[in-house]
Amino acid sequence: MSGFTPDEKLRAQQLWNLRRKWLKDQELSPREPLNAAHTPVPAAQTGWAFRLYRAGSFALTRVLIPAWIAHYYVKYHVSQMPYGIVNLKPRLFPGDVVAETGEVIPDLPESGAHGHH
């Protein structure tokens, strides 16, 4: 059996018609190409981005970096000086002497209930 069946011939004809139509569609008309007028981005659309950038740079340069420098200075320089920053009060036990006043901490009262009534 040689040749195409009627269904194959119809399919080939349909593909040929579609290709021809596609090629015809690719031709430009005398009015084409249409160039859309280039409109610049309105300032209202870029204003929020600029304000966000300006606020972020202000926060970084005027708040965060100075706060970090102050924190570093206090943590590593001021706290190294005697009485610069007291991290924790020293524990006092009965019989200890308070350095500033010279007062002696009295003993705890003796009771059988250990402070419970």
CB 107 within 8 A of CB 95: yes
Confidence of residue 78 (pLDDT cuts 50, 70, 90): confident
* pLDDT beyond 90 at 30: no
CB 105 within 8 A of CB 95: yes
**Phi, psi angles (nearest 5°) of residue 104:** -95, 130
12: enclosing H helix or E strand: helix 6-26
* pLDDT beyond 60 at 36: yes
Rounded to two decimals, the pTM is 0.34
Q: What is the rounded CA–CA span in Å between residue 47 and residue 91?
A: 59
Average pLDDT over residues 60-87: 82
